[in-house]
Structure 1
Amino acid sequence: MREQYMEAVLAVAALIPSARVLSYGDIASLLDCGGPRQVGAVMSAQGSDAPWWRVIRASGAAPLCHEGRALRHYREEGTALRGDVGAVVPAGKAVPWRVDMRVARWNPAEADFDAIDAIAALLKEADAGTD
């Protein structure tokens, strides 16, 4: 995967404030590059130093196999959740809770959009240089 794309995805993820989330597709849309699967691949391979729990599926489901760790972060940050967050779930079973995307989805302010646009512009410049 292109280094510039990975850096751009991680830079946008780093902008997401505490108690807020974006979906994989949201980040791809903000960058106007790639799609949810590409963003997910970056987060899976390189996202350990980023706030990975703030980048989730559009359904509000936490990153696969990291639901327990993500839930701890969500509780610490006060992220809006829905469903039964107290349920004990056997390994390999779907958790009965999700992030409430209607409440927790990040709506960037103008200054945030300026930063995101700058990240996307650098990505486009790097893309133009590979043609």
Structure 2
Amino acid sequence: MREELVEAVLQVAALVPAGKVLSYGDIAELLGTAGPRQVGRVLALHGAAVPWWRIVRADGSLPAALVQQAREHYRLEGTELVVPSGPARTMLPRVRMSVARWMPGERDFERIESISAALGAKLSAATGGMDA
């Protein structure tokens, strides 16, 4: 995994405020040079230093192994969850994306664009100016 991509994903993840989330795909789209699976892989390998629980699947879920750890963070931050009840109660809780998805403000977008531009420049330099 390219160090430049790892750095950029972690920088964007660190911007997400408490109580809000982005999906792996949101970060991939914001950076413009990765896919959701690459973002997920970066967080799986290097995400301990950032609020990893704020980056979720598009449906608001996390891998089952992370749900219990994340629930305490969500409770402390006031992140709204969908908790299945009735026959579906065996399903894991997930973040209510319609409420919790972070919509970056103008200053946040400027920071993200700067991160994305730096990533693109580093990748371009590493490939001798050829598309990465």
Q: What is the TM-score normalised by the length of structure 2?
A: 0.89
Q: Moved runs in structure 1, 4+ residues, more than 2 A?
A: none
Q: RMSD in angstroms over aligned alpha carbons? A: 1.5
Q: Match of 2:123?
A: 127
Pick which of 59-68 and 46-55 moved more.
59-68
Q: Match of 1:27?
A: 27
**Structure 2: unaligned runs, 5 residues or longer:** 128-132
Cα deviation 1:64-94 (Å, max 9, x = unaligned): 3010010000000000111249xxx8xxx74
* Counterpart amino acid of residue 18 in structure 2: S
In the TM superposition, residue 36 of structure 1 has moved relative to its aligned partner by: 0.7
Q: What is the TM-score normalised by the length of structure 1?
A: 0.90
Q: Match of 2:112?
A: 116
What secondary structure sits across from 2:103 in the alignment? coil
Distance 1:52 1:39 in 2: 11
In the TM superposition, residue 128 of structure 1 has moved relative to its aligned partner by: 1.0
What secondary structure sits across from 1:116 in the alignment? helix
- Are the counterparts in 1 of residues 24 and 37 from structure 2 also a CA contact under 8 Å? yes
Name whichever structure is richer in helix by fraction: 2
What is the total number of aligned residue pairs between the two structures? 124
